[in-house]
Structure 1
């Protein structure tokens, strides 16, 4: 069958019926020359995401298995619980939502990562995600220390489904504070799953694990029909983890 080259308004191949069109690149579903906010939203509703390097065409993926994190399974060690207590008690620490989405995605793009040369967060990606942020579908969680943005993440939200995208940290543990905040808020909103896209040891250490693609796609199909929750919280949401056993 081969990979589909998509024009801006072309439908995506079905990840249920047309998955893995190129057996040599499992999970790669389609290719396009450009990326738009409208395409992004259609893709996420079908459990598809873009991931590519600068100079490449836009590569659209639906891998099997799919890495996910169930917020209730987020791992909080004794040491991390102490860090959370410190953040809650120390006025120098703040957690903000959508304070500066563009600054957050730019920080994620410029974050140095082991064994990674360059970034997949290109100018086209930043523009498209900024557009869906303005539409209320992409959000940033930002961690501040003494007024400086020291960590954070950005994600996509459709109904009762959250799709994690990228994190950054300029101070040890700051990105984990952002993720702990997101997970605590998601539990309060009855959001059962955060998409992590691809398996990494770092995500596994925080409670993420792979599930079959069909299971993931069925969950997305069911949960993205709900109304988006209101994204408004601060570091007090972290209190949730202090009552949980380690």
Structure 2
């Protein structure tokens, strides 16, 4: 990956002081010139390995998430969580306004506890996200993923399930909440295994969705066959904050 804010500032250890403090250690003009030495583009923050970048980002989030659980006050919780985003590569809005170059696509549940940008400690422009209850592969969602791969050239799609998923619970209970929601969770019901645990059902649903993406989309299938795209399934444990590949 080319030299950028992430590699120059944060990997050099300056994040320990914060950007403001770092600027006090060296002349402002020189600091700014060093950070912006290269012409930036939407591709400037692309990592060499997207899956590794996601895993590393989640490790940062999970560490803060678990530390937050041990905090003894609301202020301490906020302080712990504010340590996120210290290792991110942030592009100026002038670059982001012109174009985007996300380095991973995520299809995740619409659950309020499972925002991908949050749990992968990602910055604006990093992730191309499709969300629906139960991370189901509906046609419009797949079309969005095709756009991400064919136009934006995202090299990775992660299908992300999560603990205590309400959509999977509804599918297991075999009850109708609304007519449209019932249609949405049909693929989940189709992959249920009798007697399986909720956790296994959630993981199996994520894996099944990952497999369906290539059977339902020629664009995605060809990208996988050519080596331009990797599709994986993951599971987010809300209690620990950790994402595991399944």
TM norm. shorter chain > 0.5: no
* More relative contact order, 1 or 2 (CA 8 Å, 6+ apart): 1
Larger Rg: 2
- Which protein is richer in helix relative to its size? 2
Task: Please state which band the TM-score falls in when normalised by the shorter chain.
Answer: under 0.3
**What's the TM-score once normalised by structure 1's chain length?**
0.24
